[in-house]
Structure 1
Amino acid sequence: MSDALLSDLAADVGEQVMVVRQPIFDRGKSVWGYELLSSPPPQGHSEQVAALEDLISFQKEKLSSLGIEFSTDKKLLLNMSGYNHLNSYDFSGYLGDIVFGFSNTAASSEHGSFFVSNMHEQGGSVAIDNDLDESVFDSLMDKCDIVKVSLEGKMPSDIVNIRRKLKNYEGKLLATDVSSWEAFEGTRALGFKIFQGSFFSLPLIEEDAGLQVASVSKLQLIRELNNPGCDMEELASIIASDVSLSYRILKYINSVAFGLKREIKSIQQAVALLGLNELKHWATVVVMTDLDSTPKGEELAYMALQRGRFLSQLAGTIEQCQLAPETMFMLGLFSKLDALLSYPMDKALDGIALDEAIKAGLCGERNEYGNCLRMLEAVETGKWEVANAILKRYGFSVPKAATQYLQASSWAARQLPSMKSQ
């Protein structure tokens, strides 16, 4: 494929197709790999890519723009359904970080069976769906490294029965559509090795458990930073009182991601240059990204930043949207506060100076802010019709919003490294 054609494809994806990175976690809640979820292309645009190597390069390029650089310790799960390049012979370049996933249509084809057999012989990795036709599944099971089991629409007893049927399978079991921490723990107890779904973005709240000491102090910082009565002198004092926060704010403000032309050497200088509200804003962002330092927390911080940026860009683009971009950024940013703290949202928001309507939306009320969050959740889980229905209220659509979504994803990926303490 020529560079020009690949560039056209990238522009096509950036402008018309939403691309969402979905993490896959292992049993210890570390990131095992990623899969790209893409919205359907508009009518008249093909989903086909000319050759397998171009498809892989294309997906890796998108993931790179979303902050993911692959090596053998992070996998790319590549869904082969719908692609017509299963007659490849040379897999030598794909044996380290690519896992080829097959659904019913691709796996049932003659090319699909040939592809799986050749990949297996050369030491590559293949994943197949448990829901394949029984004869196809039986013929491929011994040649694949991963069996995917979707939890969607299944009762716990169904998953137990599936696990029983696969008791002699020696590869990894991947639970997909895991939508709660209970489902994660249940499939984990059944011996599943890797997990994909929205569970990680939900708060993991243990009964009668309070906030950890470190989280209490950080939440108090967020409250103080968003206090309308906080003046420049007090803001400088608040930030300077926390050595780690001071370091990370200065590191971020002086980073390439922030884009200032001269070095800022003190919090007082930052206040004078950026202004009170601007520094409050970015100090809040820096504190939010430091609430959970686990791999799960890093994914949540990325989501919070990406959501905030995307909503603020939409607010600045859609004429029918009367919500201020700054307000929409904070809505997206705070939408993962409960998950980052493992604490109920209503309690986490207590004492934070946000508009009551925003707080209500964050706590699940179906107001205008809550609808924006439901649109985000629909995008992140591939419920494109739901996302479109909400966007249409503002005269917008998923294809029209795709550019802002990819830009927001790329922006969030660039910001995070500059905000870390190390």
Structure 2
Amino acid sequence: MTSTLGADPARPAGQRAPSGSPIPIGGGEATVQRQPVVHPDRSVYGYAVRVLISGPTGAPLPDEATEQAVDAAYRRLDLPGLAGDKPVLLRATSGLLAGTSAVWYDAERLVFEVTPALARRPDIDTLVAAATLRGSRLALADYDGSAPQDRLLDRVSVVKVDLRHGPDHCALLVARAHDAGATVVVEHTDSTERLETAASLGVDLLQGPMFHRDPPVTRRTFSAGELQCLELLRVLSADSVDQQLVVRTVATDPELSMRVLHLVNSSAFGLRREIDSVQQAVVLVGPRQLHALAIASLIDAKPSSVQALWSILTRAQTCHALAGDDTGYTVGLLSAVASQQRFDLTDLVTRSGVSDALAGAVLRHEGPLGHVLAAVLAHEENDVAGVAATGLEPWDVAHAYLAAVPQALATATALAFGD
């Protein structure tokens, strides 16, 4: 169940705008950034969400200049669709702290991040007191050890430190936050080197893309079940899909057969009668859901792994939306599952038997599909400049990703739970 914080007379209780809705703001636009916050074992704790407002040139405007626009964007966000049932770390505005602005989420799972700009405000003590009185949990965003932030250390439960400050400075910041009794989240854990730095600092939580670009890989022989999943991906990625070959590929593997029947008979499809035929189930499920089902089987998706499957499918659906066809979906799937499973990417692509063009897109980010994948990877790292460098518009990528998140959650839940 969701609850509101503050007053929002613009919309009756319970109504939320779709997560992917464009939010034009005056001369600029609102872009939503969302990243997982995970434990050191990569299990998901929650999600960090913020809104950036762009100016006429497309560059993000300072937080302190855009509070009204950010509040308007927050009122339109479907936070349950973005975070499932996990905690949300949300960049605060003065209105959210004071209680004059609203977001739609369970208050017990919401943490307001006090930005450096807010920490410098002369009325910050009043704002923090108002939020605390309402029972709101608080965090320090972008902690760098400044005096205004240090004054608030004993009033927050979470402190976020950017690893780009460097290991030595981060060590001092982490120690200071821990001494104050705060949980420490480090940001920009987007490489193996930074993950190792985070581990050496003894931090509590990590924020960054779910699957970073250079994970340590394991070269190994694929099992019979994994090869069957890759064969299904190969068949589905052909220029002209042979429906009967798809049926035979699914039917010859008991695990795939069980999963496709379980999916088609789940509440996600809402059929009036039970389907017992694998062939009929394959037709009803369709190619894109079969792609997802193959990946779910490959990672042995179950309730405990729904967050990882959610992230994989979000990348795949975003690539599909930006590319405009199912090859984009395959590119996103292969890149994400290789990182999640720590497969050697070249081995995975070779085994999947995809075309040379699709392989070049996944391995070297070549061609239009490769540019799409590179843009989505950059967006997952909150790298706006990196997205622009691919030739795609950051706003388009951000909103395609935002729209994909709740869709992917529904699919991941159906595949993992099968209810």
- For Structure 1 versus Structure 2, the TM-score category normalised by the shorter chain is 0.7 to 0.9
Partner of 2:115: 103
Deviation at 1:108, TM superposition (A): 1.4
Q: Deviations over 1:33-67 (max 9, x none)?
A: 11224342565999545998x887644xx22233x
Q: Deviations over 1:306-345 (max 9, x none)?
A: 23323333344xxxxxxxx122222222221211321111
Partner of 2:310: 302
Partner of 2:44: 31
Secondary structure (helix, strand or coil) at the match of 2:42 reads coil
Partner of 2:34: 21
Deviation at 1:365, TM superposition (A): 3.9
Deviation at 1:26, TM superposition (A): 1.7
Secondary structure (helix, strand or coil) at the match of 2:179 reads coil
CA distance in 1, matches of 2:180, 2:222: 41
Secondary structure (helix, strand or coil) at the match of 1:205 reads coil
Q: Give the 5 Å matches for 1:20-59.
A: 20-40=33-53, 47-49=66-68, 58-59=76-77
- Asked if the contact 2:230/2:352 (under 8 Å) is kept, the reply is yes
- Asked if the contact 1:226/1:280 (under 8 Å) is kept, the reply is no
Q: Give the 5 Å matches for 1:60-79.
A: 62-66=78-82, 68-70=83-85, 74-79=86-91
Q: CA RMSD in A?
A: 3.9
- Asked if the contact 1:201/1:300 (under 8 Å) is kept, the reply is no
CA distance in 2, matches of 1:8, 1:388: 34
Partner of 1:191: 202
What stretches of structure 2 of length at least 5 have no aligned partner?
Answer: 1-7, 24-29
CA distance in 1, matches of 2:371, 2:241: 31
- Asked if the contact 1:211/1:341 (under 8 Å) is kept, the reply is no
CA distance in 2, matches of 1:295, 1:176: 27
Q: Deviations over 1:40-96 (max 9, x none)?
A: 2565999545998x887644xx22233x343xxx32111115x445334999x9762
Q: Deviations over 1:221-274 (max 9, x none)?
A: 222552469965554343234333212212323445457676532112235x45
CA distance in 2, matches of 1:256, 1:167: 45
Partner of 2:321: 313
- Asked if the contact 2:288/2:326 (under 8 Å) is kept, the reply is no
Tell me the TM-score normalized by structure 2: 0.78
Partner of 2:5: none
Q: Give the 5 Å matches for 1:7-406.
A: 10=17, 14-16=21-23, 17-40=30-53, 47-49=66-68, 58-59=76-77, 62-66=78-82, 68-70=83-85, 74-81=86-93, 83-88=94-99, 96-120=108-132, 124-129=136-141, 131-132=143-144, 134-152=146-164, 154-166=165-177, 168-198=179-209, 200-202=211-213, 204-205=215-216, 210=220, 213=223, 217-227=225-235, 235-255=246-266, 257-258=268-269, 263-271=274-282, 273=283, 279=286, 281-292=288-299, 293=301, 298-316=306-324, 325-392=325-392, 397-400=393-396, 404-406=400-402
CA change 1:235–1:313 in 2 (3 A) is: closer
Instruction: Choose 328-337 or 307-316, whichever is displaced more.
Output: 307-316
Secondary structure (helix, strand or coil) at the match of 1:14 reads coil
CA change 1:15–1:204 in 2 (3 A) is: same
The one-letter code sitting in structure 2 at the alignment partner of 1:415 is T
- Asked if the contact 2:251/2:257 (under 8 Å) is kept, the reply is yes
CA distance in 1, matches of 2:344, 2:70: 48
Q: Which of 405, 410, 417 matches 1:414? A: 410
- Asked if the contact 1:224/1:230 (under 8 Å) is kept, the reply is no
CA distance in 2, matches of 1:377, 1:335: 10
Instruction: Choose 259-268 or 105-114, whichever is displaced more.
Output: 259-268
The one-letter code sitting in structure 2 at the alignment partner of 1:290 is S
The one-letter code sitting in structure 2 at the alignment partner of 1:416 is A
Q: Percent identity?
A: 22
What stretches of structure 1 of length at least 5 have no aligned partner?
Answer: 317-324
Deviation at 1:352, TM superposition (A): 1.7
- Asked if the contact 1:290/1:420 (under 8 Å) is kept, the reply is no
CA distance in 1, matches of 2:69, 2:323: 37
Deviation at 1:175, TM superposition (A): 0.6
Aligned residues: 393
Tell me the TM-score normalized by structure 1: 0.77
